[in-house]
Amino acid sequence: MTHANPRRARLRALQALIRPTTVELDVGDWGLDHGTWSVLTHVVPKADVPVVQLSIDLTKPAEFHLDLGRRLDALRDQGVLVLGSGNIVHNLGAMNFNQPDLAYDWAIRFDADVQRYLREGEDQALVRYERHHDGKLAVPTPDHYLPLLYVAGIRRNDDALTVLVDGIDLGSVSMTAVRLG
């Protein structure tokens, strides 16, 4: 008697959910990205839940990531926690180690505006983050910002947005964390 591989079963279900986007299972020795394990170690310290991590395709435009998030919304009905980890503001080149509690005005403005966009469902403003007057400073590379678009994608009209962590470290790294529902 053969037993189905639960990892492969989860992958097939995910593949069906996000078509025509394709994903494949990587069973290498890489492990989880720091953006995943650094959060999960606090949320699920026993590491006793299955985890499926999706890589961010930086060749795709922001709208692609929002749309993919919308397709992932069905996972919520299956009791799956969808976690988008990154930073709203993530400019490592502008970090100020001499005043770690300082937050630059542009970082504060951008973070506050993005929180408002999330709360008010302004998805196009989230997608067009580079057009924001502080966008290029706040998000010099999109890799830490794009996970937010997945969160915006799974947001439902009746979801309350709760800010769990609000603040900026070293002047230019936002540690904002939000929860939907």
- Counting beta carbons within 10 angstroms of the beta carbon of residue 73, is it exposed (0 to 12), middle (13 to 18) or buried (19 or more)? middle
Q: Which domain holds residue 67?
A: 6-180
Q: Is residue 109 included in any domain, yes or no? A: yes
16 is a domain residue:
yes
Domain assignment present for 14: yes
> Is residue 101 a part of any domain in this protein?
yes
Provide φ and ψ at 173, rounded to 5°: -130, 110
Give the CA diameter of the chain: 63
pTM attached to this predicted model: 0.89
User: What is the pLDDT at residue 67?
Assistant: 96
Alpha-carbon torsion (43, 44, 50, 56), positive or negative: positive
Is the residue at 147 inside a domain? Answer: yes
Question: For residue 1, what pLDDT is reported?
Answer: 47
CATH number at residue 52: 3.40.830.10
pLDDT along the chain (181 residues), means of 10: 68 87 77 83 88 89 96 90 89 95 96 95 96 97 94 91 92 91 82
- Give the angle 106-109-112 at the CA atoms, nearest 5°: 145
Q: In this structure, is residue 104 part of a structural domain? A: yes
Total structural domains within the chain? 1
Residue 1 lies in a domain: no
Per-residue pLDDT at 35: 81
CB-based contacts of 109: which residues, under 8 Å, 6+ apart? 133, 134
pLDDT of residue 150: 94
> How confident is the model at residue 3, as a pLDDT?
56
Q: Tell whether 106 is covered by a domain.
A: yes
